[in-house]
Amino acid sequence: MGPTLALLLLVCGGYASGQLKNDRPNLVGPYHVSLQVNGRQYCGGTIVDDRWILTAGKCYNEYSKENSTAVVGTNNLQTGGTSYLIDRFIVHSRFQSKQFGIPHNIALVRLTTPLVYNKFVEKIEISDKHVPDNATLSSVGTDKSINMVKALPQEECLRQYHNTIMGPFVNVGNLCTVNPADQRPTFGITGSGLILEGKLVGVFRSPGLLGRYSYPNANTRVSYYHDWIQTTIANNSDEAAITGRPSVRN
Ligand SMILES: *[C@@H]1O[C@H](CO)[C@@H](O)[C@H](O)[C@H]1NC(C)=O
Ligand SMILES: *[C@@H]1O[C@H](CO)[C@@H](O)[C@H](O)[C@H]1NC(C)=O
Ligand SMILES: *[C@@H]1O[C@H](CO)[C@@H](O)[C@H](O)[C@H]1NC(C)=O
């Protein structure tokens, strides 16, 4: 099945599965999360368990815990869906935001209360399999549509970054992608998921300055962090005090 047909099916599937309160179809999938501060989206994320959102390490900032919320169940940044409070924002211990390659660009966000699943709010399984070369992945576009991207063979990604300032930092923990049509990087929502066959395989990273026009997106490869994800969730599954309640957005 070509990317165009796959996209059409996903779009139609979204319509067929019903309408949200705000009459917008849930195009991007019920596991997609918008991380927001004061109603403004700063990153995306993906539901991996009833209290856990997987996102990028780069998404951590000074507001991350205190004032940010995870909005689920809507495609609309302003309305619909439900807003959950965050009580932990756990960035990989070897994440380095100032380093060119942004190594270990992965984080887990814990919600204060478990998500209530429904047809617009679901978790997705994380993949422990290596993504096949040239596989077509779905990713969330900046306009919250679905972008199809191509998984670049690792050798090809390393070759392109070789002799660049980022070269030494692109490694097995990265899943590189390009637009299949023109082989260029794609724009999207940092922290949002890359999906293959209904499983989460990557955490999207926007092209940086260096990557802006010619270099592939060096996303985070979820299978490489499979154990870190499982262990971090297990290590943080204490029943902390519930400090707030989710609120239904109008
Ligand atoms: C969070 O929001 C409150 C109320 O607007 C503000 O007083 C506080 O400084 C904010 N905290 C951070 C870390 O920005
Ligand atoms: C992936 O694409 C490259 C470049 O088009 C090609 O050389 C390679 O054989 C492809 N690999 C697979 C597994 O399709
Ligand atoms: C989980 O906890 C174990 C035991 O305290 C510790 O050795 C390990 O480093 C922790 N792993 C993570 C990813 O938090």
DSSP 212-250: SSSS-EEEEEGGGGHHHHHHHHHHT-S-PPP----EE--
CA distance 213 to 59: 22
CA distance 6 to 177: 18
Q: How far is the CA of 231 from the centre of ligand 3 (A)?
A: 7
Residue 35: strand pairing partners: 43, 70
Q: Where are the alpha helices (DSSP H) in the chain?
A: 3-16, 154-161, 226-235
Does any ligand 1 atom lie closer than 6 A to the CB of residue 37?
no
Does any ligand 1 atom lie closer than 6 A to the CB of residue 65?
no
CA distance 225 to 202: 10
Beta strands per DSSP E along 92-145: 107-111, 125-126, 136-140
**pLDDT reported for residue 210:** 61
At 58, which amino acid appears? K
Handedness of CA 89, 242, 84, 15 (dihedral sign): positive
Tens-digit pLDDT string for the chain (250 aa): 333 333 333 322 222 233 334 444 456 789 999 999 988 899 999 999 999 999 999 999 877 667 889 999 988 877 889 999 998 999 999 888 776 677 899 999 999 999 999 989 999 999 999 999 999 999 987 777 888 999 999 999 999 988 888 788 889 999 999 999 999 999 899 999 999 999 999 999 988 666 555 789 999 999 999 999 999 999 998 765 555 566 777 6
Q: How far is the CA of 86 from the centre of ligand 1 (A)?
A: 14
Q: How many CA within 13 A on the CB side of residue 144?
A: 20
**pLDDT reported for residue 67:** 83
Is the pTM value of this prediction over 0.75? yes
Q: How far is the CA of 239 from the centre of ligand 1 (A)?
A: 26
Q: Which ligand lies nearest the alpha carbon of 156?
A: 2
Specify whether the CB–CB gap between 219 and 177 falls below 8 A: yes
Beta strands per DSSP E along 162-222: 174-178, 193-196, 199-203, 217-221
**pLDDT reported for residue 206:** 86
Specify whether the CB–CB gap between 146 and 138 falls below 8 A: yes
Residue of the nearest CA to atom 14 in ligand 1? 63
Q: How far is the CA of 100 from the centre of ligand 1 (A)?
A: 30
How many angstroms separate the first and last alpha carbons of the chain? 38
Residue of the nearest CA to atom 12 in ligand 1? 63
Q: For ligand 1, pick from 63, 67, 69, 86 the residue to mutate: most ligand atoms within 8 Å of CB.
A: 67
CA distance 194 to 219: 9
Does any ligand 2 atom lie closer than 6 A to the CB of residue 159?
no
Write the CB contacts of 66 (distance below 8 Å, at least 6 apart in sequence).
Answer: none
Q: How far is the CA of 185 from the centre of ligand 2 (A)?
A: 18
Q: Where are the alpha helices (DSSP H) in 82-183?
A: 154-161
